[in-house]
Amino acid sequence: MSTGIELVAIKTLGGDQPNGVKDNPRQRPIVIIGTGDYGRSFAGRLVKTGFKVVIGSRCPERSRPNVPEGDVFVTSVADAISRGHIVILAVPRHAYSDLAQLRGELAGKIVVDVSNKEKLDKEKSNAEYLSEEILDKSLVVKGFNVVSAWSLESGLVGGSKEVPICSDNKEARSEVIQLAKDMGLAPLDYGCLRAARDVEAIPLRLLPGWRFAIKILFALMAVMSLYVLFQGPLYMYVTQGITKDVQHFPGKGMNRVLAWLALTLLTLVYFPGIIAAFRQLAYGTKYQRFPDWLDTWLKSRKQLGLLALLIASLHACFSACLMSPEYYYHMYELGPVIEGRQFYGLMFWRGELLIFTGGLALALMSVLGVTSVPSVQNGMNWREFAFVQSKLGFFCLFVSTGHCIVYGSTGFTKGYLYVWYTPPPFLLAMLLPCLVILLKFLLLSPCVNTRLMRIRRGWESKPKANPV
């Protein structure tokens, strides 16, 4: 990397302010080393928020036509460093060795490392390596690595504005946090530079909060699909040689799977809370740590609920396409038989109740999903959020279970549905939600609820031992 200074006529950037004039941080130029996509996008965002920018490049003349318009000056790397106090290092790790020649120029300056690792590992972060082995005299800060160049160019639309920032120097960390705020971002103070290991791992993790929920989704879908296939098409083919049900499995069969899956996922949203409540009652305290499996389950309730909404929406679409007497003959009145073909009349009350409960359940699940969006959630107080997610959520589970019961109400006593000593899918689908609803009513009983509320307010059944 070149360290020479290019002599270019330019108006003075930064510098001392006249006596009596308060220094404006936006008048001090921000230095960016690197003219790649990220460096140019970062410069453009700074200019839009009122900052002056100096970009350091190994080839200033070639880079100058590509920089954003505005208060941006392109010069050599060494000259750029001399013009500002905060240096944004927008270069990959393999280019760090070139900075060793500039250790003296960067001494005492705030160097913000925005790089990311290429793979997850347990080694030191890029920022730690930079601070300990390359720029040991500089104030290294880790930040902005979770914000993409596209997000910066589009005015921070379509991406998260949260920016983790960490550094061993508190003053340097505070300055970069303020810079992030001025850019319209939401900085998060992650503490010392060691936290950069976690910060650099954030962009490398694929949906970390969704892994448990997605595993549950695919595991349940596989088991339910095999069961529905076993209970219907496979049984008809083995016993009677009929392949008609196999041909209709992608539509009618999968619609049964989707209905079962959506109800089960919704039940799994509220089941861990029930388990946690009974655990608190058993231990007589809220300070007993939950086991890891329950803690992971509790933290995944939002993702499970959103997946339940997705599957329920697919079930509604399938049902709208398949809702006809040919598929659901037991929901329609029998009409005349003309030329050997059975005709049907209007729906029974049972069929219309099925549509009503299904539509109401989907609407309630949509409300739960919308209130899970951070922008909507931030506009609600805690009591409103708890009412929607807890009370309205259990009502949604109750209606969804009723929808399943209405569908299977004509088949509980029909022996031909219990093939190969196995119950029909709709009967299995309603067992878990009925159990959760029963346990919820038990928790709401006066004697149990009073004790549970006392525990959650801090009361313990066993007094703490006096400290020695």
Q: Are the C-beta atoms of 53 and 63 separated by less than 8 Å? A: no
* pLDDT for position 336: 79
* pLDDT for position 364: 94
- Triad 79, 116, 55: Cα angle to 5°: 20
How far is it, in rounded angstroms, from Cα 400 to Cα 458? Answer: 35
The series of mean pLDDT values per 10 residues for the chain, 468 residues long, is 36 41 66 90 91 89 75 88 93 86 91 89 88 92 91 77 93 94 93 92 80 94 92 80 77 90 96 94 89 92 94 92 77 76 78 90 93 82 86 94 87 76 89 95 92 89 56
The full length of the chain comes to 468
Beta bridge partners of 347: 332
* pLDDT for position 372: 86
Closest CA to 364 of 322, 319, 396, 386: 396
Closest CA to 111 of 139, 90, 150: 139
pTM for the model:
0.70
Helices (H), 165-206: 170-182, 196-201
How far is it, in rounded angstroms, from Cα 117 to Cα 88? Answer: 17
